[in-house]
């Protein structure tokens, strides 16, 4: 029987060597039934604590645990690997948000919210990334596909479940424009037209 | 002239509506559609989204749309649909209200407000999602090098095994030597093709199955030469999983690809 520090070393090695996140059930196989899932979970939490403050952290995700670099180090790492991942366009991110927060939804539902057509390329980009998939069809004329987000989506965004998505903001009746505090921007904003009701923005 | 709206650059149109064509394209591209443009106008003028003054909003919206149209930009149909909708709401607001006792009529603006609020919520949600650290963009999943069994090694065929197989075939050929073998047009290339054809159907064939001993030694020799030539040209792979085990012939990578 292994003692807890040894168990942690085995877990650590398995997680470091794994290509994909590993769940407690999979990790249990390392010990051929000698340890229960609860004990493994507890030791994983301890292990995550021990890695705090290092360049690499152990995080718990939807499909299991994964070691990853800390986000604040990314600007440095990018210099070493110049081919940085591109950002998705606003159209792609808005489509993703609607699928994530309102799933399952059809393409028509997405178009209703955005007020514009959703191109096939946008859906494909998200499908290819493995972030969304078709979970069924709505029984209306044309039987449109219903889209939902996947486990990989949660894993890739560092989330354990959809409940961990950033909460939807309550929208203010009126809103101050978020203005970049530069002389240029201020010049543009103070140039307020006649309809402005409440003084200056920003 | 550059302000930022929710972190997105927005180029404000001058109020005399003279816009250099290049700038207008940027203006149009900055918006994700009519709802986005409306939301920008509402927030820019700090209008109460739950009590939108339709007249000034409609006027401003139409000015933008008109400016876009003037510069021959391909204006998405959605912008025009929204323009029609705004004008309809505006005109319904102007109609005299029915007497108070009658059915309570919904505010003509209600549906537009609902859509604007939902779009704004999703727009902000999209920004929230984008701020989450993403694998591959903001964090790198760690995987240390682990010594695993090296890529699958194909068994090597010992020349002795090949010779042994060959001898067996020759022996079988001699047994059936009483057949009179007619003079055949024997070409190594032709046999190469027939071997490839056999492999196309079955992908893997046992070495001995490729030979027809009853057709005589000369055919055997040509078949064998054809096989060696195919192997030399990397069109087939010859493998054996264990010593003295069966020898298999399969399509080379160039062929199966």
Find which of B138, B145, B146, B149 to mutate to test the A interface (most A CBs within 10 Å of its CB).
B138
Q: Three-state SS for A32?
A: coil
Contacts of A108 in chain B (CB under 8 A): none
Tokens of B256: 């199966």
Q: Quick one: which of B125, B7, B131 has its CA closest to A167?
A: B125
> Residue A189 contacts by C-beta under 8 Å, 6 or more apart in sequence?
A177, A179, A200, A201, A202, B3
Residue spans of the domains in chain B: they are 2-95+105-131, 159-256
Residue spans of the domains in chain A: they are 4-73, 90-164
**Range B159-256: architecture per CATH:** Orthogonal Bundle (1.10)
Q: What are phi and psi of A146, to 5 degrees?
A: -100, 125
Question: Per-residue pLDDT averaged across B202-231, rounded?
Answer: 85
Question: Per-residue pLDDT averaged across A38-43, rounded?
Answer: 93
Tokens of A184: 């240029």
Find which of A11, A17, A85, A115 to mutate to test the B interface (most B CBs within 10 Å of its CB).
A115
Q: What's the CA gap between A135 and B74, in Å, rounded? A: 36
Predicted confidence band of residue A64 (pLDDT cuts 50, 70, 90) = very high
Question: Per-residue pLDDT averaged across B45-74, rounded?
Answer: 83
Q: What's the CA gap between A54 and A52, in Å, rounded? A: 6
For the cut 50, the answer to whether the pLDDT of residue A135 exceeds it is yes
Q: In this predicted structure, which of A153-167, A172-186, B56-70, B116-130 has the lowest mean pLDDT? A: A172-186
Q: Three-state SS for A58?
A: strand
Q: What percent of chain A has pLDDT over 70?
A: 82
Gyration radius of chain B over CA positions: 40
Q: What's the CA gap between A192 and A169, in Å, rounded? A: 27
**Range A4-73: architecture per CATH:** Orthogonal Bundle (1.10)
Q: Under an 8 A CB cutoff, do B12 and A191 touch? A: yes
pLDDT digits (tens, 9 = 90+) for A105-134: 999 999 999 999 899 999 999 999 999 999
Contacts of B13 in chain A (CB under 8 A): none
Nearest to A91 among B12, B32, B47 (CB): B32
Report CA-CA distances (Å) from B14 to A63, A189, B213: 52, 12, 92
Q: Quick one: which of B184, B193, B52, B25 has its CA closest to B112?
A: B52
Instruction: Say if residues B73 and B80 touch (Cβ distance below 8 Å).
Output: no
Angle at A78 between CA A72 and CA A81, to 5 degrees: 145
The reply to whether A90-164 shares the fold of A4-73 is yes
> Which ranges of A53-129 would DSSP assign to H, the alpha helix?
74-80, 90-102, 107-114, 120-128
pTM over 0.80: no
User: Which residue is it, tokens 């003295």?
Assistant: B244
Adjacent-strand bridge partners of A56: A69
For the cut 90, the answer to whether the pLDDT of residue A65 exceeds it is yes
Q: Is the CATH code 1.10.10.10 the one for domain A90-164?
A: yes
Q: What's the CA gap between A46 and A9, in Å, rounded? A: 11
């Amino acid at each position: 029987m292994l003692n807890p520090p040894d168990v942690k070393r085995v877990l650590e090695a398995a997680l470091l060597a794994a290509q994909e996140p590993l769940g407690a059930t999979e990790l249990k196989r390392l010990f051929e039934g000698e340890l229960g899932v609860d004990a493994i979970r507890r030791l994983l939490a301890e292990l995550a604590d021990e890695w705090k403050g290092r360049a690499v952290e152990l995080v718990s995700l939807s499909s299991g645990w994964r070691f990853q670099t800390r986000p604040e180090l990314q600007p440095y790492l990018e210099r070493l690997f110049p081919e940085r991942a591109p950002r998705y366009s606003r159209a792609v991110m808005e489509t993703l948000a609607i699928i994530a927060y309102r799933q399952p939804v059809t393409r028509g539902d997405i178009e209703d919210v955005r007020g514009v057509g959703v191109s096939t390329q946008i859906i494909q980009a998200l499908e290819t990334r493995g972030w969304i998939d078709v979970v069924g069809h709505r029984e209306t004329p044309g039987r449109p596909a219903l889209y939902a987000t996947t486990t990989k989506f949660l894993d890739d965004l560092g989330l354990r479940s959809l409940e961990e998505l950033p909460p939807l903001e309550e929208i203010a009746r009126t809103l101050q424009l978020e203005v970049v505090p530069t002389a240029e921007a201020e010049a543009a904003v103070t140039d307020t037209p006649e309809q402005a009701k409440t003084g200056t923005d920003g | 002239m550059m302000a930022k709206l929710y972190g997105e650059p927005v180029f404000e149109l001058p109020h005399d509506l003279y816009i250099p064509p290049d700038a207008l394209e940027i203006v149009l591209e900055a918006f994700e559609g009519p709802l986005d443009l409306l939301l920008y106008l509402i927030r820019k003028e700090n209008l109460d989204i739950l009590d939108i003054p339709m007249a000034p909003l409609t006027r401003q919206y139409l000015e933008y749309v008109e400016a876009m149209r003037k510069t021959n930009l391909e204006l998405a149909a959605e912008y025009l649909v929204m323009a029609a909708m705004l004008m309809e709401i505006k005109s319904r607001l102007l109609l005299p209200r029915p007497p108070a006792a009658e059915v309570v009529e919904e505010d003509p603006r209600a549906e537009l407000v609902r859509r604007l609020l939902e779009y704004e919520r999703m727009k902000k949600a999209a920004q929230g999602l984008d701020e989450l650290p993403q694998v591959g963009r903001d964090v790198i999943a760690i995987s240390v090098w682990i010594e695993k069994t090296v890529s699958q090694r194909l068994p090597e065929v010992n020349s002795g095994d090949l010779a042994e197989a060959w001898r067996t075939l020759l022996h079988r050929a001699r047994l059936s030597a009483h057949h009179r073998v007619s003079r055949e047009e024997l070409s190594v290339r032709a046999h190469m093709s027939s071997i490839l054809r056999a492999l196309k159907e079955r992908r893997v064939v046992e070495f001995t199955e490729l030979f027809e001993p009853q057709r005589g030694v000369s055919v055997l020799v040509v078949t064998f030469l054809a096989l060696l030539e195919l192997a030399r040209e990397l069109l087939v792979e010859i493998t054996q999983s264990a010593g003295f085990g069966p020898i298999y012939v399969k399509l080379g990578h160039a062929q199966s690809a």
